[in-house]
Amino acid sequence: MYSKKFLLDLYKTMYTIRVFESECIKLYRQGLIRGYYHPYLGEEAVGTGVCAALGKQDYIVSTHRGHGHCIARGADVKHMVAEVLGKETGYCLGLGGSMHIADITVGNLGANGIVGGGIPLGVGAALASKIRKEDRVVAIFFSDGASNNGVFAESLNLAGAWSLPVVFVLENNHYAVCTPVEKSCKADDLYTIGQGFGIESHMVDGNDVLEVYAAAQEAVAKCRKAKGPVLIEAKTYRHGGHHVNDPGAYMPQDRLEYFKSRDPVTLGKGHAMSIGKATKNDIAKIDKAVQKEMDEAVAFAKESPEMSEERFFELVENY
């Protein structure tokens, strides 16, 4: 049985992701964020459920839609907002931006702007873990578009052949930019791709954090017993277009409404209240604390300096 604290922690993580994305969209509209910005709105339960099943020593590998993964893995939102704003106090000194947040101190091997690019990196980290007998499991996040890249097949095959401790987390949000998944792959359910490689593969409701958590916990336990890899397909849906400037007009309204009616944050709140017996007051306290943390993070990032030209060239020359 899940404890009240555990369920509230899951809710808090999902709500933090929700507020982070909402605040950053405002910053984007104010012209303070340059380049692309891919919100994780609607997919909060996937990163949250998977990361809750990982231990401190484990690794994650993230994507261009990676803010939720970073937060769920324990990132400090102050340094995240600063990174997104290109400030020197950001996780990567403001040089990476939204799509390249990494934080080795919490086992986050990094987001990646190359679709599918993180998959072989994660398999490599898992191979290192196995060779060094380090008991590290690697959760690799990627979406349906990435699963059509050749490197996914190669990575699955190698991880399977070498029984590597990898949890492949296929966040099927049904779109690669504006291409619906049914137009880019003949398989009805993408988890069956893993089965073709002899890999244990499951499908879960990616909007229900407890379903994601239960599957991830089992998968991580198997990896620790050298019975990996495991693939989890989490079915979910973006709450908007591919990035902030994409209105997503191609997304059928009824589908969007359906997934919004199964909002992961609302469902998580429901679990905390019905299973964990959390009160409205418990929730209100969390909501207030999260908003305060975000307001402080935004202020910190806005006040932070950009890197000086001297330091920038010094870094470039020394790499």
Instruction: List residues binding ligand TPP (CB under 6 A).
Output: 63-65, 113-115, 143-146, 173, 175-177, 242
Residue with tokens 């590998």: 61
Q: Which C-beta is closer to Mg ion: that of 206 or that of 228? A: 206
129 lies in the binding site for Mg ion (CB under 5 A): no
Q: Which C-beta is closer to ligand TPP: that of 143 or that of 155? A: 143
CB of 209 to Mg ion, least distance (A): 19
Q: What are the backbone angles phi and psi of residue 169, rounded to the nearest 5°?
A: -110, 100
211, interface contact from Mg ion, ligand TPP, none, CB < 5-8 Å by kind? none
Contact with Mg ion (CB under 5 A) among 21, 58, 144, 211: 144
> DSSP character for 105?
G
- Taking residue 184's Cβ as centre, other Cβ atoms within 10 Å add up to 13
HSE-CB of 305 using CA atoms within 13 angstroms:
5
CB of 143 to Mg ion, least distance (A): 3
Q: Which C-beta is closer to ligand TPP: that of 177 or that of 315? A: 177
115, interface contact from Mg ion, ligand TPP, none, CB < 5-8 Å by kind? ligand TPP
Residue in the shown chain whose Cβ atom is closest to Mg ion: 143
Residues 172-211 that bind Mg ion (CB under 5 A): 173, 176
Q: Say if residues 79 and 90 touch (Cβ distance below 8 Å).
A: yes
Q: Is 232 helix (H, G, I), strand (E, B) or coil?
A: strand
Span from 127-135, 142-150, 246-254, 283-291 in contact with Mg ion (CB under 5 A): 142-150
Residues 230 and 163: their CA atoms lie apart, in Å, by 10
143 lies in the binding site for Mg ion (CB under 5 A): yes
**Measured in Å, how far apart are the chain's first and last C-alpha atoms?**
51
Residue 183, judged by CB atoms within 10 A of its CB (0-12, 13-18, 19+), counts as: exposed
Binding site for Mg ion (CB under 5 A): 143-145, 173, 176
